[in-house]
Chains A and B, each alone.
Chain A
Amino acid sequence: MQTFDIASQGLRALNSTLHALKDRPTNQTEWEILNPKGAHAIAVGVDAPLDITVRGSTGYYCGGMNKQATIRVQGSAGPGVAENMMSGSVIIDGDASQYAGATGRGGLLVIKGNASSRCGISMKGIDIVVHGNIGHMSAFMAQTGNLVVLGSAGDALGDSLYEARLFVRGSVKSLGADCIEKPMRPEHLDLLADLLARSEASEKARPEEFRRYGSARKLYNFNIDNASAY
């Protein structure tokens, strides 16, 4: 296990050290990061199959644009955690602030606690599993990928949704424009079972307990008769 102390070595040295492992065979695959103390941009732009544990809470954009790495935060995460993630996984033991997984294009984001507003905004292929609840305007303009919520969702879920699939186990305060409930088919149950297993949630919930939401596809091409929906 490699240990990196942000308090003494600094953020720039951390990201620079992790970036240096890109395309380079290494035995230094396990890393722990000490004293994050809410610092922003921790472990951003990593592109190597590393196992990184952050011992504490992080500020904005932890794990941003991650490729390949598994990043676990033993605390809570600030806004935009795992934004634009490409692959790999980010696991938050605590809660996540706004915009968790924003624009993510791949990989898996797991939030063991709750996520705030706009979780999965503009997601583009990422899978997000939230063990707790999510805030308002989550999955706004979500394009593709899967958002799984074991708890409940706030107002305007999936507003202006494209092809992303949303699964919520608890209540949904309201659905956003063009977002509707859709029937759960066998392939969705299989997908959920897989996502729950990969996100350490199999023992908390069963696929049959979820309801599925998706796009009504009525706003896909501009039509003046839909103007009141905006």
Chain B
Amino acid sequence: MSDLPASKFPHTPPRQSWTFSQAVNAEIRRAAETGIYDIRGAGAKRRLPHFDDLLFLGASISRYPLEGYREKCETKVVLGGRFAKHPITLDIPITIAGMSFGSLSGPAKEGLGRGASLAGTSTTTGDGGMTEEERGHSTKLVYQYLPSRYGMNPDDLRRADAIELVVGQGAKPGGGGMLLGQKISDRVAAMRSLPKGIDQRSACRHPDWTGPDDMEIKILEIREITDWEKPIYVKIGGARPYYDTALAVKAGADVVVLDGMQGGTAATQEVFIENVGQPILACIPQAVKALQDLGMHRTVQLIVSGGIRTGADVAKALALGADAVSIGTAALVAMGDNDPALEAEYNKLGTTAGAYDDWHEGQDPAGITTQDPELAARFDPINAGRRLRNYLKVLTLEAQTIARACGKSHVHNLEPEDLVALTVEAAAMAGVPLAGTNWIPGKTGF
């Protein structure tokens, strides 16, 4: 027994529950008050096994490096050579992912086009059709063929450089979308053949085909309409990457675009974003295996996306077998999204720079995820294009730096043997050894 009086007993400090954290409790209270789930933009925010959990080995006695600033390290990528008469050649292995006009402002789409074109790569339309801002400023434009078919027409199909049949998206495999009424301006409404101001639902599956056999016929139709000129991509979310990749190849895809759960969305339920789909790290080896099993690796190209931020991420994705990567969220950040310079305005919206994700509400102080003319006018597409070009250039230089250090004269020569993993989880997912061991969980004994 203690000799101290009870009032002098040391206190057990208050202990917050890991399970019922303050954030969890806040969400319970929000749900209890409003009766509606939380909707937001962007991709999964939870900590996930990612490229950060991989390291390159670099050169050693048995591998010799290439001289930085002197010896060539190629970055060109040719997409669509399987069936298309006119494949696309990109100068860099980084493309801009599909983002809709409607979700983004017209000037933001122009900025993406300018930046991508300056960097020698492609940009991609999104739900809502093709805008002149984007077509006019994109030397290479991929036209998405989406379930909603908003704005779909044969003339735009023919003036696209490639067509991307969208089956799924990493942030919400199996989910459609909703563009809330406050972002439906006259122009957005006209492009989508719907009234102004109503919530516009984007369907979760295509209206005129179901399953892989139908998809093969749909691809045939699109090829016939475009006289077999355009590369046809098939975009899938990170759900069942092995089988989805195999089915896309069987259906006749030239290119498979694979989006992990860190990939962004304009607006989806938080519960969906955080709990459906797989991280991109887990998806790439499965898709590559499907291509290899079919003898189609490098014949059908693989573009991966979802959480690409640095040239190291680019290099790691390529080392795992991808042909190129796509960026969406990072491109928006490069153009000014979530910039701390706008902190006071983010605070007024009840958030802070870096955390702003209510893209569906159309109040973006950076003028990117909005249709408000005054906010959109803040955005300078020329300067944003320059910034995006610079960022793409840095990603490329960084990937080249790593590739040279691994002795590769083309970034595509990077391979899983150049990598080790820092965690057991990442080793198992990526199919590379745990650092300091020869152990690949699920493949080799410890």
Contacts and interface: CB of A to CB of B under 8 A. Distances in A.
A44 B221 contact: yes
A102 B152 CA distance: 12
A64 B207 contact: no
A72 interface: no
Interface string B198-226: 11010100011100001001101100111
B203 A64 contact: no
A121 B210 CA distance: 14
Contacts of A3: none
Contacts of A167: none
Interface string A121-163: 1101100000000000000110110000000000000001011
A15 interface: yes
A80 interface: yes
Given A41-B217, A64-B225, A84 B153 contact: yes
Interface string B218-241: 101100111110000000000000
Interface string A185-196: 000000000000
Contacts of B353: none
A63 to B, nearest CB: 11
A67 interface: yes
A103 B209 CA distance: 12
Contacts of B154: 45, 47, 65, 67, 84, 86
Contacts of B153: 65, 84, 86, 105
A195 B199 CA distance: 31
A61 B199 contact: no
A80 B149 CA distance: 14
B371 interface: no
Contact of B224 (A41, A84, A102, A163): A41
B25 interface: no
A36 interface: no
B194 A80 contact: no
A4 interface: no
B207 A221 contact: no
B149 A12 contact: no
B149 A124 contact: yes
B136 interface: no
A163 B226 CA distance: 31
Contacts of B226: 45
A103 B195 contact: no
B221 to A, nearest CB: 4
A43 to B, nearest CB: 9
Contacts of A67: 154
Given A99-B207, A143-B193, A144-B193, A122 B149 contact: yes
B387 to A, nearest CB: 35
Given A64-B221, A65-B225, A162-B195, A122 B203 contact: yes
A61 B207 contact: no
B148 A61 contact: no
Interface in A2-20: 11-12, 15-16, 19
A84 B148 CA distance: 11
A156 to B, nearest CB: 15
B224 A103 contact: no
A50 to B, nearest CB: 15
Nearest to A225: B35
A224 interface: yes
A103 B152 contact: yes
A163 B217 contact: no
A143 B202 CA distance: 12
Contact of B214 (A60, A140, A141, A221): A60
A84 B149 contact: yes
B208 A163 contact: no
A101 to B, nearest CB: 9
Do most interface residues of chain A lie in helix, strand or loop, or is the interface mixed? Answer: loop
A60 B221 contact: yes
Nearest to B228: A12
A162 B218 CA distance: 26
Contacts of B152: 84, 103, 105
Interface in A158-212: 160, 162-163
A152 B198 CA distance: 31
B194 A222 contact: no
B35 to A, nearest CB: 5
Given A60-B214, A84-B153, A102 B208 contact: yes
A105 B225 contact: no
Contact of B149 (A44, A103, A144, A222): A103
A122 B149 CA distance: 8
A77 B178 CA distance: 33
Contact of A44 (B178, B203, B207, B224): B224
A103 B199 contact: no
Contacts of B194: 143-144, 162-163
Given A47-B154, A221-B199, A222-B199, A40 B207 contact: no
Contact of A40 (B178, B192, B220, B228): B220
B186 to A, nearest CB: 15
A124 B193 contact: yes
A220 B199 contact: yes
A112 interface: no
Contacts of B59: none
Contacts of B228: 12
Contacts of A105: 152-153, 193
Contacts of B217: 40-41, 59-61
B180 interface: yes
A79 interface: yes
Nearest to B180: A222
A83 interface: yes
Contacts of A60: 209, 214, 217-218, 221
Given A99-B208, A124-B149, 6 more contacts: A40-B217, A61-B218, A64-B225, A80-B208, A141-B203, A160-B201
6 contacts: A40-B217, A61-B208, A143-B194, A160-B201, A163-B195, A220-B199
Interface of B: 34-36, 148-149, 152-154, 157, 178, 180-181, 192-195, 197-199, 201, 203, 207-209, 214, 217-218, 220-221, 224-228
